A and B are shown apart, each in its own frame.
Chain A
């Protein structure tokens, strides 16, 4: 029971993280592509409760920062503290991509609050991480869905039917495994039309992840199906004249469900990482749309690497996601053994 409780708790946390990213429009204070050219590479705002005189304020506030041109550095201006407001009206967005709305969780009356700093165009990094998460996580989820369903179907067919069909499918799988897919992707990209809309680029990324990713799950599923179809109760059912479809549905496939779930929990973070790599190399969604890989690609420049530590934030943001996913995966694994 304790075990189930743990799994449930982690699933709730995972769900909450996804809700936050899914409703990025509400949680992010600004439009992720809005540039503020007066405030580029702003360090993260320091939220305070205690002012310089030592007074405690229940409402968090921060001091606006101004650029000191002589040193190209920002310094806080303690004369005008800016309080943080909640449920403010700001830039329009669509909640979950559907509902038009203008209310944001937090914001300010004047001055901009950069919770995690701003980038080289003065865009709010916190907002971009949330919006970028939508792209990266969705790519991970859809990529996993595609890879697993392909892998499931092919692995089951190869394992159940055996013979030359098994040979054909598994040799094909090996071929896919051996492909230098990153270079292949560069080549594919070169053949596509010059202008690729963000949606097309996104679909391409998922297609790539799916077509490359199905091989490993399919081999796993094939193994399970191979052993399952030789079990005594399956043989018995076959002896009683059960059809292939009945056998698969009733006896064999249910044995793969647990593996599928565990695989999913392992693959999602892997594929999020794959999307990030592709975007990092410029093969993912194009500017100015944010994705975690896009956000990190500015770190390719040495000057950014050594000057603006907050540009690492997208890399840190994915850590809780990956930890929770992997925790869920290992709990699912234990769960399977418990049965």
Chain B
């Protein structure tokens, strides 16, 4: 994929920038910079023209742990960092395509082994300090430094080798890859460019991990995002103000963002968030459950609720397929004989009423799933995967073929027994804090009761559930969900590679346990280095097919992305990719009364 397609859609405002666009590589950027040191190359966004001023209050489920993009892993931190930082190339959350951000253009060499990136001219951090190639160089040096433990480091390792970066001149950088990288420029999304003038000292002292605490004073923290730090009140709120040096404008040339302030309020539970939104304390609500969405939609008072369509989150049931070896869990090993039987897993899949899950739990705002790629990700969805309807007859037939039988005691419901006469009874663990998944398990319990299986439900605290699945491996089956950040299959490597820590049914294997798992490993690694998108899609389609054939996970359903905002907020367009509502925060604005009336 090359940059030209995206650039066509976006016009830049200054003449010098226009020149740079036409011939990004032939231009001697150093000379150009000297000639126009004060010129800024701003990115103009299409879309509804807004008005300046005002503030918006958004709620967060908990306090962000940090403002530091290197160490942030929790969702609230990512949400806040997303509006304070910027990356070289950005994935547009609405179109799911890449767009130039800090880099005004990029070009891959013919073999795909080098990528030349040209920075936008006149960029400044939110504290007014200029940005140049040295900052970018510093940024990637830090991300790649093992002692920093950056969470995104793995994404910069291609073909077993870290990406090498060279500075060509003050605005041009050359990235060298050991192997072609299938994701192309999507790679740059999510790597916030760091201010060298603030972070070099702590980096050299080895204290980089400790920087970016929420209590950092506002003049000691800077980024390239639309907002910058203003005030933090522990336990209550985080106040951000507009970054006056932000590099985007609207179609009329007004510098973005429109809002003066963005306030994050810490509201601890989903229900409390709904109440605060209903009472008007909070302007925007996202990650709303379907039931709360229905409550809010019933009598909207000055706000609009939006169903943005199926998210990338997929929920599934999986069985314990670990090799427990000499571990002291004989009875689990005993039950694993059933779980390992493909026909048993297929029978369970055939018996599950996915339609009921969508209808009862998501109130119709979701989609049934037969694979890990949801309808919210049409670019990667394999349309060839079959959607067999629920069939208890087929399930019974599969069980019969696998050698299972039913007891025929008069009066009582027939119970399923295996070849040795042992009744089929197992437990499903779920996260106690996730009401949706607990309900899914209750539905599955009843579905499987109709096959004569006796299922016990065990709600567990999330931490101990994860510990059982990835640590002690003492469980029978589990209902869980994975929420993806990106539509690209690379974000799923950890789940599908047999060596991955999130390869939930049998994590972190030294060798693939089955033929089909090694086939998936091969396909996933192959798609990593294939540059042709069509070819990559084919490879990932095959992964989806293997998963559908072997049912290591029985995919259930995907909820829609549900969000709401006060009706006075303009440009509010929730997307199915994270961050669902703040991805275009620079364009959000407050309408005045007259504009609102006309809407």
Q: Which of A77-85, A165-173, A220-228, A300-308 contacts the other chain?
A: A300-308
Given contacts A194-B427, A301-B271, A303-B289, contact A287 B457 (CB under 8 A): yes
A282 touches which one: B271, B359, B432 (CB < 8 A)? B432
Distance of A301 Cα from B289 Cα, bound (Å): 11
A195 touches which one: B275, B456, B464 (CB < 8 A)? B456
Encode B452-478 as 1/0 by CB contact (under 8 A) with A. Answer: 000011110000100010000011000
For A286, the chain B residues whose CB sits under 8 A away are 456-458
A194 touches B443 (CB 8 A): no
Q: Which of B290-298, B344-352, B549-557 contacts the other chain?
A: B290-298
For A231, the chain B residues whose CB sits under 8 A away are none
CB distance from A190 to the nearest CB of B (A): 8
A288 touches B442 (CB 8 A): yes
Given contacts A288-B442, A302-B274, contact A40 B360 (CB under 8 A): yes
Encode A175-195 as 1/0 by CB contact (under 8 A) with B. Answer: 000000000000000100011
Given contacts A194-B475, A288-B445, A303-B289, contact A72 B457 (CB under 8 A): no
For A100, the chain B residues whose CB sits under 8 A away are 411
For A282, the chain B residues whose CB sits under 8 A away are 432, 459
Encode B412-440 as 1/0 by CB contact (under 8 A) with A. Answer: 00000000000000010100100100010
Distance of A72 Cα from B289 Cα, bound (Å): 16
B251 at the A interface (CB under 8 A): no
For B231, the chain A residues whose CB sits under 8 A away are none
For A301, the chain B residues whose CB sits under 8 A away are 271, 291, 435
Distance of A196 Cα from B435 Cα, bound (Å): 20
B75 at the A interface (CB under 8 A): no
B571 at the A interface (CB under 8 A): no
Given contacts A37-B360, A282-B459, contact A194 B474 (CB under 8 A): yes
For B464, the chain A residues whose CB sits under 8 A away are 190
For B294, the chain A residues whose CB sits under 8 A away are 72, 303, 307
For A120, the chain B residues whose CB sits under 8 A away are 360, 439
CB distance from B281 to the nearest CB of A (A): 15
For B295, the chain A residues whose CB sits under 8 A away are 302-303, 306-307
CB distance from A147 to the nearest CB of B (A): 28
B150 at the A interface (CB under 8 A): no
A302 touches B275 (CB 8 A): yes
B291 touches A35 (CB 8 A): no
A121 touches which one: B432, B443, B474 (CB < 8 A)? B443
For B270, the chain A residues whose CB sits under 8 A away are 302
Encode A291-324 as 1/0 by CB contact (under 8 A) with B. Answer: 0000000000111101100000000000000000
For A194, the chain B residues whose CB sits under 8 A away are 427, 429, 458, 468, 474-475
For A197, the chain B residues whose CB sits under 8 A away are 456
B446 touches A121 (CB 8 A): yes
Distance of A33 Cα from B449 Cα, bound (Å): 11
A303 touches B446 (CB 8 A): no
Distance of A302 Cα from B272 Cα, bound (Å): 9
Interface centre among A92, A190, A195, by most chain B C-beta atoms within 10 angstroms, is A195
For B363, the chain A residues whose CB sits under 8 A away are 72
Given contacts A194-B474, A301-B435, contact A121 B442 (CB under 8 A): yes
B353 at the A interface (CB under 8 A): yes
Instruction: Give the nearest-CB partner of A298 in chain B.
Output: B435
B356 at the A interface (CB under 8 A): yes
Distance of A190 Cα from B363 Cα, bound (Å): 34
B458 touches which one: A37, A40, A195 (CB < 8 A)? A195
Distance of A40 Cα from B429 Cα, bound (Å): 24
For B429, the chain A residues whose CB sits under 8 A away are 194
Encode B274-294 as 1/0 by CB contact (under 8 A) with A. Answer: 110000000000000101101
B458 touches A92 (CB 8 A): no
A37 touches B359 (CB 8 A): yes
Distance of A162 Cα from B443 Cα, bound (Å): 58
For A287, the chain B residues whose CB sits under 8 A away are 442, 445, 457
B291 touches A121 (CB 8 A): no
Distance of A35 Cα from B357 Cα, bound (Å): 13
- Which chain B residues numbered 354 to 382 have a C-beta less than 8 Å away from chain A? 356, 359-360, 363-364
For B475, the chain A residues whose CB sits under 8 A away are 194
Encode A82-109 as 1/0 by CB contact (under 8 A) with B. Answer: 0000000000100000001000000000
For B356, the chain A residues whose CB sits under 8 A away are 37
Instruction: Give the nearest-CB partner of A304 in chain B.
Output: B291
Instruction: Give the nearest-CB partner of A303 in chain B.
Output: B291
Instruction: Give the nearest-CB partner of A286 in chain B.
Output: B457
Distance of A69 Cα from B294 Cα, bound (Å): 13
Distance of A286 Cα from B442 Cα, bound (Å): 11
Distance of A72 Cα from B297 Cα, bound (Å): 11
A92 touches B411 (CB 8 A): yes
For B457, the chain A residues whose CB sits under 8 A away are 286-287
CB distance from A127 to the nearest CB of B (A): 15
Encode B539-564 as 1/0 by CB contact (under 8 A) with A. Answer: 00000000000000000000000000
Distance of A190 Cα from B360 Cα, bound (Å): 31
For B459, the chain A residues whose CB sits under 8 A away are 282
For B289, the chain A residues whose CB sits under 8 A away are 303
A302 touches which one: B292, B360, B411, B427 (CB < 8 A)? B292
Distance of A121 Cα from B435 Cα, bound (Å): 13
Distance of A252 Cα from B442 Cα, bound (Å): 54
Distance of A33 Cα from B289 Cα, bound (Å): 25
Instruction: Give the nearest-CB partner of B297 in chain A.
Output: A72
- Which chain B residues numbered 154 to 205 have a C-beta less than 8 Å away from chain A? none
For A92, the chain B residues whose CB sits under 8 A away are 411
Distance of A191 Cα from B475 Cα, bound (Å): 15
B439 touches A195 (CB 8 A): no
Distance of A303 Cα from B273 Cα, bound (Å): 12
Instruction: Give the nearest-CB partner of B446 in chain A.
Output: A35
For A35, the chain B residues whose CB sits under 8 A away are 443, 446
Distance of A286 Cα from B468 Cα, bound (Å): 20
Distance of A31 Cα from B359 Cα, bound (Å): 23
CB distance from A195 to the nearest CB of B (A): 4
Distance of A33 Cα from B443 Cα, bound (Å): 11
Residues of A that sit less than 8 Å from B by CB: 33, 35, 37, 40, 69, 72, 92, 100, 120-121, 190, 194-195, 197, 282, 286-288, 301-304, 306-307
Known contacts A194-B468, A195-B458, A288-B442, then 11 further A-B pairs from the complex at CB < 8 Å, ordered by chain A residue? A35-B443, A121-B446, A194-B474, A282-B432, A286-B456, A302-B275, A302-B295, A303-B294, A304-B291, A307-B291, A307-B295
17 A-B residue pairs with Cβ-Cβ distance under 8 Å, sorted by A, are A35-B446, A69-B364, A121-B442, A121-B443, A190-B464, A194-B458, A194-B468, A195-B427, A195-B456, A195-B458, A287-B445, A302-B271, A302-B275, A302-B292, A303-B291, A303-B294, A307-B295
Which 3 residue pairs across A and B have the least CB separation, nearest first? A303-B291, A302-B271, A195-B427
